[in-house]
Amino acid sequence: MAPAERDPQAGRETREGNLSSGNRPSRRRLANAIRMLAMDAVEAARSGHPGMPMGMADIAEVLWNDYLRFAPTAPRWHDRDRFILSNGHGSMLLYAVAYLTGYDVQVEELKHFRQLGSRIAGHPERDLDLGVETTTGPLGQGLANAVGMALAERTLAAAFNKPDAKIVDHHTYVFLGDGCLMEGVSHEACSFAGTEKLGKLIGFYDDNGISIDGATRGWFTDDTPKRFEAYGWHVVPNVDGHDPQAIRAAVEAARAALDRPSLICCKTIIGFGAPNVQGTSATHGAALGAAEAAAARKNLGWELPPFEIPDDVKSAWDARERGKKLAADWQKRFSDYQRKYPELAAEFERRMNAQLPKGWAQHADAAIAKTAAAGKTMATRKASQAALEAFAPQLPELIGGSADLTGSNNTLHAYSKVQSAAEPGGNYLHYGVREFGMSAMMNGMAAHGGVVPYGGTFLVFSDYSRNALRMACLIGLQSIFVLSHDSIGLGEDGPTHQPIEHLGSLRLMPRMQLWRPCDTVETAVAWRAAIERRDGPTSLILTRQDLPHAQRTPDQIAAIARGGYILSNGDAEPAITLIATGSEVQLAVGAAAELGAAGVAARVVSMPCTQVFDAQDADYRAHVLPPGGVRLVIEAGATGGWWRYAGDRGGVHGIDEFGHSAPAKPLFEKYGFTVAAVAQAARILITDR
């Protein structure tokens, strides 16, 4: 079933793909519309990736016209199929199909591909109104997102479907390339997908043998079909990616294999139809140029000028009426479901619309007040578990997990039930040692909707999953990253496991809200903030070691949600303000007491979330941190990001070197994280300034 032609005339073969049915244009001509729009947009931009859209156009034509359930006029319809373009450099394939099928995109927008302010981006950027389910570009992550979306579909189906009513029943399709499969995240996610037997996940591998540097046989010699068979996937190998009949047969086989995910390995020609450069890396990441674009037009029998699509082709592609019927049919089924199962229907709509349950605010207030009244001393990783046990019964959408550190992260709570292929109704996933895969799959779950994923690992191992955390920020996804063992306080495991630069690094990510709570109360407030936030991710930074409870007034408890607040000495004019986070707040409190005993007024400011504090109004920020005062920041991590809070007259008491293998107590003493050392650092600042 592999392509028979590998010559410059590949666009002129005569086979079923070129034959029309009645007055309908041939499948090849419909696919050529994608090729032309992709080629024209890249030419107009003078940059882009024409090769992949031209190579996968025949596959896209079959998928969109014969299988994909979508509605251009109702793009947010809950039970639509999900499509992800993991090889996102070929974004013009997705935007071309959006235009052809009738989404709200105009041809003038295609002419502004890759331009400032254009929705038609160089890599797909999440826009549900254009049929773009997630942002892709970093190779392999779209594939992992697809696994997460399939997990979300299975989770929701188990929660809401009934024997006489299926309201969640859709597939997840993903296009992927050689680069996706070379990236390690593909192994993590696809191994997990096989174990979980995600039968509604279908991937199309664009096996064109080319990447930027040339023919991949020099650096990628994996037997991909056997690799995926070893994962437990159903594999359809050696499919001619330019033969609609072969593609259809492969899709039918994949859709029938509901007991496992499927990979369709499509042999394609990159840049198909460009007679002088097809099958070469020259088509991968640059415009073809005017002469080759003209030659491709002639070779494919497309006589029209750039961006012009004939009426018969536009009509054949137009999916608006078909989509309206699909969405309306589902809405009718859902209306029947509402009559039979009104409470479940209301809960489904609440979750899919990302709404909090009725009475949530009162429940959260009561849980936080109860936590404050208990006043327990405990590690914030355990406080996190306690917060989950307070909140989770109200929030069935919370789907937790850990990268093989469940007992250390304390992500499994009393109401957790492990999810698996045999038990799809659970709310907890054992991801195994797959930090990157876990985080990218969580992003896919969040992008799907209806679930709020949280996943745990050690803070230092956030390095493994860093790009997935960045993508959550870029897209604005509600993924909650539980990152424990947050400093040298983890002790004997040594510098390989002791985070130093990680707090500052994560705080630098735009849209990331990082909370480093100092006790049970701040931990509960941090969890509440993460749950209520819908437009971006949250990192919860938690200790291994026990931390004492800090006494607060009700007003101070309310102020925690503002990211930074005065914990002590709020009335006096302080000689120095001690700003601290997490485990160092107790040191600031102790140092303030020691300084106070010596007649030095010291204010303590707890700053669990700098991003939220920075978003407060100027008057509040000036109230907490009076301008011009002497300030000392205390945090057991890199100092770099704190100087803007310390100011010209202040200092930062941190760690700018790697740690050592030793128990926590001598490590904290070595690096000056004791009450006495902090008090002395404050005295020196006051004297020097």
State the Cα–Cα distance between residues 304 and 53, nearest whole angstrom: 19
**Does residue 351 sit within a domain?**
no
State the Cα–Cα distance between residues 138 and 336, nearest whole angstrom: 42
DSSP secondary structure code for residue 653 in this structure: E
| Residue type at position 218 | G
pLDDT confidence of residue 23: 85
pLDDT confidence of residue 572: 76
Nearest Cα to 174, choosing from 136, 208, 134, 203?
A: 203
| Residue type at position 497 | H
**Does residue 341 sit within a domain?**
no
User: Number of structural domains, the chain?
Assistant: 3
| Residue type at position 456 | G
State the Cα–Cα distance between residues 490 and 484, nearest whole angstrom: 9
pLDDT confidence of residue 18: 53
Residues 477 and 502 occupy one common structural domain: yes
Residues 460 and 582 occupy one common structural domain: no
The CATH number of the domain where 609 resides is what? Answer: 3.40.50.920
Residues 44 and 164 occupy one common structural domain: yes
State the Cα–Cα distance between residues 532 and 527, nearest whole angstrom: 9
- 126 by Cβ neighbours in 10 Å (0-12 / 13-18 / 19+) ranks as middle
Among 492, 513, 547, identify where a domain stops: 547
Question: What is the span of the domain harbouring residue 570?
Answer: 559-688
Tokens matching residue 525: 């407030």
Please name every residue paired with 454 in a beta bridge, in sequence order, or none if there are none.
Answer: 480
pLDDT confidence of residue 360: 98
pLDDT confidence of residue 20: 53
Nearest Cα to 181, choosing from 286, 87, 114?
A: 87
Pairing of strands 538-541, 480-484: parallel
**Does residue 354 sit within a domain?**
no
Please state whether the predicted TM-score (pTM) of the whole model is above 0.85: yes
631-634 β-sheet, strand order: 565-568, 602-606, 576-580, 631-634, 651-653
Residues 646 and 541 occupy one common structural domain: no
Q: Are 552 and 567 in contact (CB under 8 A)?
A: yes
Catalytic residue chosen out of the listed positions 153, 183, 397, 435: 435
Residues 388 and 527 occupy one common structural domain: yes
Residues 502 and 597 occupy one common structural domain: no
Residue 489: C-alpha distances to residues 214, 541, 668 (Å): 48, 13, 7
Q: If you compute the radius of gyration of the chain from its CA atoms, what whole number of angstroms results?
A: 28
**Close Cβ partners of 387 (under 8 Å, ≥ 6 residues apart):** 367, 371, 520, 523, 524, 526, 527, 528
State the Cα–Cα distance between residues 554 and 158, nearest whole angstrom: 41
State the Cα–Cα distance between residues 64 and 325, nearest whole angstrom: 15
Residues 374 and 503 occupy one common structural domain: yes
Residues 459 and 605 occupy one common structural domain: no
**Close Cβ partners of 645 (under 8 Å, ≥ 6 residues apart):** 579, 607, 610, 625, 631, 633
**Does residue 646 sit within a domain?**
yes
State the Cα–Cα distance between residues 155 and 425, nearest whole angstrom: 6
**Does residue 608 sit within a domain?**
yes
Residues 204 and 302 occupy one common structural domain: yes
pLDDT confidence of residue 70: 98
Between 520-532 and 380-391, two packed helices, what is the crossing angle to 10 degrees?
Answer: 50
Residues 528 and 476 occupy one common structural domain: yes
Residues 529 and 574 occupy one common structural domain: no
Q: What is the mean pLDDT of each run of 10 residues along the chain (689 residues)?
A: 40 43 89 98 98 98 98 98 98 98 98 98 98 98 98 98 97 98 98 98 98 96 98 98 98 98 98 98 97 98 97 98 98 98 98 98 98 98 98 98 98 98 97 98 98 98 98 98 98 97 98 98 98 98 98 98 96 92 98 96 97 98 92 98 94 98 97 98 91
| pLDDT tens sequence across 133-149 | 999 999 999 999 999 99
Find the length of the chain: 689
Nearest Cα to 183, choosing from 284, 271, 86, 279?
A: 86
**Does residue 438 sit within a domain?**
yes
| Residue type at position 32 | N
The CATH number of the domain where 377 resides is what? Answer: 3.40.50.970
**Does residue 346 sit within a domain?**
no
Nearest Cα to 541, choosing from 532, 556, 550, 530?
A: 530
Residue-wise DSSP of 385-426: HHHHHHHGGG-TTEEEEESS-HHHHT---TT--B--SS-TT-
| pLDDT tens sequence across 208-247 | 999 999 999 999 999 999 999 999 999 999 999 999 999 9
Nearest Cα to 189, choosing from 429, 456, 29, 532?
A: 429
For the question of residue 435 being annotated catalytic, the response is yes
State the Cα–Cα distance between residues 212 and 142, nearest whole angstrom: 19
DSSP secondary structure code for residue 63 in this structure: I
State the Cα–Cα distance between residues 20 and 4, nearest whole angstrom: 21
pLDDT confidence of residue 56: 98
Residues 237 and 94 occupy one common structural domain: yes
**Does residue 471 sit within a domain?**
yes
Helix, strand, or coil (residue 547)? strand
Residue-wise DSSP of 353-386: TT-PPTTHHHHHHHHHHHHHHH---EEHHHHHHH
